[in-house]
Amino acid sequence: MPESRRKTDDEWRQQLTPEQYRIAREKGTERAFTGAYHDTKQPGVYRCVACGTELFRSDAKFDSGSGWPSFTKPVAGENVKTVDDVRHGMRRTEVTCAACDAHLGHVFPDGPGPERTRYCINSAVLKLEPE
C-alpha cells in the first residue's frame, strides 16, 4: 500500500465524517434507500471517499431494487479487493478499496449482463465525480 494511504485510526477519524468512518473503517452499512447515490443517474466516476481511487463508472450502475448503489463491475479489477465475509451468520463476499482497504460493501452473483455480478456499495464511501 502506498505510504500516503497508510493512516492511523486518528487520522482516518479526522479525514472522514463519523458515518464514513463507521462504514469504511468499521465495516458498517447504511440503511437501505437512505444513501445519496442509491438512485442517482448522473454520469461520472465513483471514487473512494477515503483515498480517491476510481472504483465504479456510472455506465456500470443499475437499479437493483436493493436500496444501495449497485454496479455490474468495477473500473478495474485491481482497484477493488474481495474477501470472504462470514460475519452476522451469513456467507458473503466483502468488497474493499484495494488502495486503502476501506470497506465498500458486498458483491453478489445475481446481477444483470454477462458479468452476473452485483456490487452492492454504500453511498457514504463513494464520491461521484461528474462528467
| Residues with a known catalytic role | 120
**Residue 5 pLDDT > 70:** no
**62-98 tens-digit pLDDT:** 999 999 999 999 999 999 999 987 776 778 899 999 9
In a domain, residue 62? The reply is: yes
Handedness of CA 118, 53, 25, 13 (dihedral sign): negative
Minimal CA–CA distance to 47: which of 72, 76, 17?
Answer: 76
- Domain tally for the chain? 1
Number of H helices, E strands in the chain: 2, 9
Find the CATH number of the domain harbouring 81.
2.170.150.20
What range defines the domain where residue 93 resides? Answer: 3-29+44-130
In a domain, residue 122? The reply is: yes
**Residue 42 pLDDT > 50:** yes
The grid coordinates listed for 61 are: 450502475
In a domain, residue 119? The reply is: yes
In a domain, residue 63? The reply is: yes
- 93 DSSP β-pair partners: 84, 107
Q: Which residues neighbour 107 within 8 Å (Cβ) at sequence distance 6 or greater?
A: 82, 93, 95, 117, 118, 119, 120
In a domain, residue 37? The reply is: no
> Mean pLDDT throughout 24-51?
96
β-pairing verdict for 126-130 and 92-97 = unpaired
In a domain, residue 35? The reply is: no
Return the pLDDT at 4. 45
In a domain, residue 110? The reply is: yes
Per cent of the chain over pLDDT 90 is 85
> Mean pLDDT throughout 115-128?
96
In a domain, residue 120? The reply is: yes
